[in-house]
Amino acid sequence: MKIISTPAEIASWSVEHHAAGETISLVPTMGFFHEGHLQLMRQARALADLSVVSLFVNPIQFGPGEDLDRYPRDFPRDASLAEQEGVEVLFAPEAGTMYPAPALTRIQVSQLTEYLCGADRPGHFDGVCTVVAKLFNLIKPEYAVFGRKDYQQLAVIRRMVSDLNWDVLVVDHPIVRETDGLAMSSRNKYLSISERQTALCLSRAIRLARRMVREGLRDCAEMLSGLKKMIATDDSARIEYLMVVDKGSLIPQSIITPDSLLALAVRVGSTRLIDNTVLFDDEE
Ligand code: PAF
C-alpha cells in the first residue's frame, strides 16, 4: 500500500491511473478504524480497480468546544488495517496542505442541513462538504463509499454531487453494529464502562420504535414521547435530538410513512452519539 501525504501527489497518482484506464473508489474517513470502516473498504475494493482511503481529521467540520483536539488517532494501526484490507493508497494529508491559509471557501448545501445534526452543529456540513469536494477534485473517484450511520451526511453529499454535476457514484453501506446493538463509531472509544452501557439506549430506542411501527403505531408524537421516556430512565443520557423525518427531504413528519427515518443524537457523559433507522426497512 502506498501512503501519500500531499494533495499534489494524490492528484498526479489519480491522473496516471485514469490514463491507464483504471477506475478508482474512495472511502473518506477521519481514521481510528473499526469494523465499520473496514467494511467500507471491502465494498470500495469490490467496486473499482483501485481503492483509496483518505484519513484526515478535518478541522473545519468541528465547531468551537467540539472534540477536534482529542479525536482518537492511531496512524500506525490504521495504516496496517488499511493495508490488510488490500487498499492501494492511504491518503493522509496534513491540515496545512489541505487548507493553505487562509481557507476562504466553503460549500454549503441548504434545506437538507436544517434539522438533525445540521441544527445542532452549525457549519458542520459546510466543513464536511468542502473537504469531500476537495477529495473528489483531487482523486476524481468513480465511486465514493459512505456509511449510513451518518445518514444526513450521506444525503447532503449525494445532493452536493448531483447539484454540482460530479461524475461520482455515491454508494452507501449499512450501519455496522457491535453484537449488543451499539452502532460502531470511533467516538465509542471515549465511553467509560458504565457509559458504554448507557449508550445502548440509542439502539434500544431504534428497536422499540421499529416494534411500535410493526404493532401499527403511526403517530410520531406518540412514538417520540415513548422513546424519550425510555431514554430518560438513565440520567447520564441527554437527548440532543430525537426526530422522525422524511428520508428524502429530512423534514420532520407528524405521521409515520414508509419513508420515515427515525434519527437521534444522544450525549452520554461528554460523548455525542448518533444513530438512525428507516422505520419500515426490514434489513436492520
Ligand atoms: O464521516 C466522516 O468520517 C467525515 O465526516 C468525512 C466524510 C470523512 C469528512 O471529513
* Interval between CA 258 and ligand 1 midpoint (Å): 28
- How far apart (Å, rounded) are the C-alpha atoms in residues 110 and 118? 10
Q: Reply yes or no on whether 37 is catalytic.
A: yes
Look at residue 102 and tell me whether its pLDDT is greater than 90. Answer: no
The CA distance from 201 to 198, in Å, is 6
pLDDT tens string 175-186 = 999 999 999 999
90 ligand 1 Cβ < 6 A: no
Give the predicted TM-score (pTM) of the model. 0.97
Q: How confident is the model at residue 103 (pLDDT cuts 50, 70, 90)?
A: confident
- Whether ligand 1 lies within 6 angstroms of the CB of 126 is answered as no
Task: State the angle between helix axes of 7-19 and 124-139 in degrees (0 to 180), rounded to the nearest 10.
Answer: 50
200-214 and 220-232 are packed helices; what angle lies between their axes, rounded to 10 degrees?
A: 150
- Pick the range with the lowest mean pLDDT from 18-22, 80-84, 232-236: 232-236
DSSP annotation of 219:
B
User: Measured between alpha carbons, how far is 6 from 27 in angstroms, rounded to an integer?
Assistant: 17
Catalytic residue among 17, 18, 37, 124: 37
Q: Is the pLDDT reported for residue 28 higher than 60?
A: yes
**200 CA distance to ligand 1 middle (Å):** 23
Q: Which residue type occupies 185? A: S
Roughly how many angstroms between the first and final C-alpha of the chain, as a whole number?
34
Q: Residue of the nearest CA to atom 9 in ligand 1? A: 128
The mean pLDDT value for 269-279 works out to 97
234-259 pLDDT, tens per residue? Answer: 999 999 999 999 999 999 999 999 99
The pLDDT, as a whole number, for residue 60 is 97
Residue 101, pLDDT score: 84
131 lines ligand 1 (CB under 6 A): yes
Which residue has its alpha carbon closest to ligand 1 atom 7?
Answer: 28
Residues 264-276 have a mean pLDDT of: 98
Q: Which residues contact 160 (CB under 8 A, 6 or more apart)?
A: 107, 109, 129, 132, 133, 166
pLDDT digits (tens, 9 = 90+) for 141-199: 999 999 999 999 999 999 999 999 999 999 999 999 999 999 999 999 999 999 999 99
List CB contacts of 259: < 8 A, sequence separation 6 or more: 246, 247, 248, 278
Q: Looking at the predicted structure, is the pLDDT value of residue 4 above 70?
A: yes
In 3D space, the residue among 120, 263, 118 whose CA is nearest the CA of residue 202 turns out to be 263
Read off the pLDDT of residues 202-231 as tens digits, 9 standing for 90 and up: 999 999 999 999 999 999 999 999 999 999
Q: How far apart are CA 114 and CA 100, in angstroms?
A: 29
Contact in structure between 130 and 156 (CB atoms under 8 Å): no
pLDDT above 70 (res 284): no
Which ligand 1 atom sits closest to the C-alpha of 157? 7
Q: Is the pLDDT of residue 283 over 80?
A: no
Q: What average pLDDT does the segment 113-126 reach?
A: 98
